[in-house]
Amino acid sequence: MAEPWEEEGPGTVKKFMYVNRKAPYGTIYALESLEVVLIAAAFEQDVSLAFLDDGVYELKKGQDTAGIGMKNFSPTYRALEGYDIEKLYVEAESLAERGLTEADLLVPVEVMSREALAKMMDEQDVILSF
């Protein structure tokens, strides 16, 4: 039986972008955004993640949350590949502003200019931000 979301035909694939602009731990948005992405993977849509502004801090290597009693969810970004989510876009300007480089990130990503990322956003069907 067709699922309700397949009414438009099983071939309906939309471009979903998850925009991450917030740092982890201070608020729950980064973690719960990631939880949406993990579920989204099952829907066979064209999923990408954008990291800009403080969102780039989500991917910082070496996160150790032992001292704050919270779960370190950063390894999950490395698991995304196993869910066939491979489009991780990080904005070069946001990294540079924060004194970070690609080498500081815990997962392979595509670093792109603000201009390129803006164009990428414009090509989406659905933009989810938390």
Partner 1 sequence: MSMLHTVNKSPFERNALDSCIKHALPGSAILLIEDGVYAAIKGTAHEGMVRDSMANHSLYVLGPDLLARGMSPEQVIDGISVVDYGGFVDLAVNHDKVQSWL
Partner 2 sequence: MKFGILINEGPYQHQASDSAYLFTKAAIEKGHEIFRVFFYNDGVNNGTRLAVPPQDDRNITVRWSELAQQHNIDMVICIAAAQRRGLLDEGEAKRQGKDANNIAPGFRISGLGQLIEAGIQCDRLVVFGD
* Residues that bind partner 2 in the complex, under the rule CB under 8 A: 4-5, 7-8, 12, 14, 16, 28-29, 32, 35-36, 39-40, 42-43, 45, 125-130
83 near partner 1 (CB under 8 A): no
Among 61, 71, 78, 119, which residue sits at the site for partner 1 (rule: CB under 8 A)? 119
Six-digit token pair at 84? 């066939």
Q: Is 122 in the site for partner 1 (CB under 8 A)?
A: yes
118 binds, among partner 2, partner 1, none (CB under 5 to 8 A by kind): partner 1
- Long-range contact pairs involving 100-107 (C-beta distance under 8 Å, separation at least 24): 100/56, 100/60, 104/60, 104/61, 105/56, 105/59, 105/60, 105/61, 106/59, 106/60, 106/61, 106/62, 106/63, 106/74, 106/75, 106/77, 106/78, 107/59, 107/77, 107/78, 107/80
The reply on whether position 105 binds partner 1 by CB under 8 A is: no
Q: Which position among 30, 37, 47, 52 is part of the footprint of partner 1 (CB under 8 A)?
A: 52
Provide the binding-site residues for partner 1, judged by CB under 8 A. Answer: 19, 21, 52-53, 114, 117-119, 121-122, 124-127, 129-130
